[in-house]
């Protein structure tokens, strides 16, 4: 069983979301377990205060180190070992599909820490956090949505959560490319038709078409990913040639006009 602990000020909201759909079924079947821990339960004052003014001045408040530490320590003590701990932070390394695979392969249990307000006391980070992760170059009001995104991305890779590995191996970013476009019934919708190749029943041709579309999408939308692709195989070179020919044919014919 893969186990994720989420330290948060909103455990009910996070827990309810992660108990639905695929992840909910994965928990029911015992493939994964997601526990949400209320940080306020680990304060030492009657007001359940978890934040205070920042030293040095400034607006907002900072989450205090001790409630975070007591919550973290309780989880680790219960597990009988120190658990790999991740702080969801805009200052962290940007999360990629490769990180989801790494976290699934390298650990059986992880802790995700959700900050709030103006962040959390650096001393907790220095003592307890093993890595910081961001989901993009923007700032949110709290770490709950990023934590749910990471939990979802990791858990769906756990064997048994999805019906077959092909469910995620053919998706965007698994092999460094974007996924090909998908279609479902009806065959014609708003005068838009499904590409004929997908109705042919020729599975080899369908896979070839999807590979070509995946290459095209990546080249057009994510040139940064495209530059890293290894398309040196005979099959890929053939697809690239076909793509270039198709794109050339689609360009309107421009007649030479006198100056």
**Are 159 and 100 within 8 A, CB to CB?**
no
pLDDT at residue 257, as a whole number: 47
Determine the average pLDDT of the residues in 188-200: 95
Binding-site sequence positions for S-adenosyl-L-methionine: 115, 135-140
pLDDT at residue 250, as a whole number: 75
pLDDT at residue 173, as a whole number: 61
Domains of the chain: 2-155 (3.40.1280.10), 188-250 (1.10.1270.20)
Binding-site sequence positions: 115, 135-140
Instruction: Using alpha carbons, select from 47, 61, 59, 65 the residue that is nearest to residue 7.
Output: 65
**Are 27 and 17 within 8 A, CB to CB?**
no
**Are 93 and 134 within 8 A, CB to CB?**
yes
Determine the average pLDDT of the residues in 130-145: 95
Q: Before 36, cis peptide (omega within 30)?
A: no
Determine the average pLDDT of the residues in 82-102: 96
pLDDT at residue 45, as a whole number: 87
**Are 147 and 111 within 8 A, CB to CB?**
no
Q: Which two tokens stand for residue 125?
A: 């980070």
pLDDT at residue 251, as a whole number: 67
pLDDT at residue 59, as a whole number: 85
Residue 16 has pLDDT above 90, yes or no: yes
Residue 160 has pLDDT above 70, yes or no: yes
Per-residue 3-state assignment (H helix, E strand, C coil) for the chain: CEEEEEEECCHHHHHHHHCCHHHHHHHHCCCEEEEEEEHHHHCCCCCCCCEECCCCCCCCCEECHHHHHHHHHHHHHHHCCCCEEEEEEEEEEECCHHHHHHHHHHCCEEEEEECECCCECHHHHHHHCCEEEECCCCCCCECHHHHHHHHHHHHCCCECCECCCHHHHCCCCCCCCCCCCCCCCCCEECCEECCHHHHCCCHHHHHHHHHHHHHHHHHHHCHHHHCCCCCCCHHHHHHHHHHHHHHHHHCCCCCCCCC
What residues pair up with 193 in beta bridges, in sequence order?
188
Name the average pLDDT for the chain: 91
**Are 3 and 109 within 8 A, CB to CB?**
yes
**Are 88 and 114 within 8 A, CB to CB?**
yes
Residue 67 has pLDDT above 70, yes or no: yes
What share of the chain has pLDDT > 90, as a percent? 82
């Amino acid at each position: 069983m893969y186990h994720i602990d989420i330290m948060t000020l909103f455990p009910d909201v996070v827990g309810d979301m992660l108990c639905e759909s695929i992840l909910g079924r994965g928990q029911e079947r015992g493939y994964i377990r997601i526990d949400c821990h209320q940080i306020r339960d680990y304060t030492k004052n009657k007001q359940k205060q978890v934040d205070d003014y920042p030293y040095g001045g400034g607006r907002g408040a900072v989450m205090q180190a001790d409630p975070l530490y007591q919550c973290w320590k309780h989880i680790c003590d219960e597990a009988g070992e120190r658990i790999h701990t991740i702080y969801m932070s805009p200052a962290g390394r940007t999360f990629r599909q490769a990180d989801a695979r790494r976290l699934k392969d390298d650990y059986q249990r992880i802790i995700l820490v959700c900050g709030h307000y103006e962040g959390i006391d650096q001393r907790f980070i220095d003592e307890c956090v093993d890595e910081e992760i961001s989901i993009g170059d923007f700032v949110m009001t709290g770490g709950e949505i990023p934590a749910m995104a990471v939990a979802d991305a990791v858990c769906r890779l756990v064997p048994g959560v999805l019906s077959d590995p092909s469910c995620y191996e053919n998706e965007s970013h698994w092999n460094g490319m974007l996924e090909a476009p998908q279609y479902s019934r009806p065959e014609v919708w708003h005068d838009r038709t499904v590409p004929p190749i997908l109705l042919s029943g020729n599975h080899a041709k369908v896979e070839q078409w999807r590979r070509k579309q995946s290459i095209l999408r990546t080249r057009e939308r994510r040139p940064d990913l495209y530059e890293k692709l290894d398309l040196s195989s005979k099959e890929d070179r053939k697809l690239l040639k076909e793509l270039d020919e198709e794109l050339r044919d689609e360009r309107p014919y421009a007649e030479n006009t006198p100056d």
